């Protein structure tokens, strides 16, 4: 029985369109170029930030984050960044008596922005706030602490086989791989994705899983 569902953030709940478009505008590159290079480095199994490093070799990503914030062009999220099935699914899960947790690799700022959206979630936390990021086992220790349920009673949902599914399974959690976004589609046939307890094409599929 699944008592808690924990959601990744990027390309699970939130579209990354705005994120990469804002980086393209900041470094003065065409948005199409940045998007294409993100796809290329993802296909190669590299850090997606390598797309920026290809355009501006030697770029200091952390320093640029700070410069963007200082210029009033830092991270931002609003309702248009959410996938359409996010609110209905989270609300439906809560109505079924399931604890809903959002926990992904994001900055402190994104955690604040997600909470401002007033999602139907019992807890929203990010790696920036916890000081530990996926795929570290310590991240999933924090996930279990936040869950309030046993490992197999906790379902982690994410699009990234290597960062989400494999380490969550290694921590003993139940897992659902979401075919969404570049990683979710391109790496859907990887061993880590295939080993998930469930493979879903949309978040509303979770309501059937938790009522089995």
Mean pLDDT throughout 123-137?
97
pLDDT at residue 115, as a whole number: 97
pLDDT at residue 125, as a whole number: 98
pLDDT at residue 212, as a whole number: 87
pLDDT at residue 45, as a whole number: 85
The model's pLDDT over 45-100, given as tens digits with 9 standing for 90+, comes to: 898 999 999 999 999 999 999 999 999 999 999 999 999 999 999 999 999 999 99
Rounded CA-CA distance 187/196 in Å is: 13
The model's pLDDT over 169-186, given as tens digits with 9 standing for 90+, comes to: 999 999 999 999 999 999
Banded model confidence at residue 197, pLDDT cuts 50, 70, 90:
very high
Mean pLDDT throughout 107-111?
94
Q: What percent of the chain has pLDDT over 70?
A: 100
pLDDT at residue 188, as a whole number: 92
The model's pLDDT over 11-36, given as tens digits with 9 standing for 90+, comes to: 999 999 999 999 999 999 999 999 99
The model's pLDDT over 152-167, given as tens digits with 9 standing for 90+, comes to: 999 999 999 999 999 9
């Amino acid at each position: 029985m699944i008592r808690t569902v924990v959601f990744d953030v990027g390309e699970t709940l939130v579209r990354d369109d705005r994120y990469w478009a804002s980086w393209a505008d900041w470094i003065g590159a065409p948005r199409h170029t940045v998007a294409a290079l993100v796809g290329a480095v993802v296909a190669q199994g590299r850090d997606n930030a390598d797309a920026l490093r290809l355009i501006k070799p030697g770029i200091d990503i952390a320093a640029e984050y700070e410069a963007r914030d200082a210029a009033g062009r830092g991270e931002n999220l609003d309702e248009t960044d959410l996938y359409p099935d996010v609110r209905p699914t989270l609300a439906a899960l809560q109505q079924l008596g399931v604890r809903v947790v959002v926990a992904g690799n994001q900055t402190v700022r994104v955690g604040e922005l997600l909470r401002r959206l007033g999602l139907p979630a019992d807890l929203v936390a990010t790696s920036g706030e916890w000081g530990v990021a996926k795929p570290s086992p310590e991240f999933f220790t924090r996930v279990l602490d936040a869950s309030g349920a046993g490992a197999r009673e906790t379902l982690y949902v994410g699009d990234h086989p290597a960062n989400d599914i494999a380490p969550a399974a290694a921590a003993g959690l139940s897992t659902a791989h979401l075919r969404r976004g570049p990683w979710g589609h391109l790496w859907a046939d990887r061993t880590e994705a295939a080993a998930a307890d469930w493979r879903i094409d949309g978040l509303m599929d979770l309501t059937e899983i938790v009522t089995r």
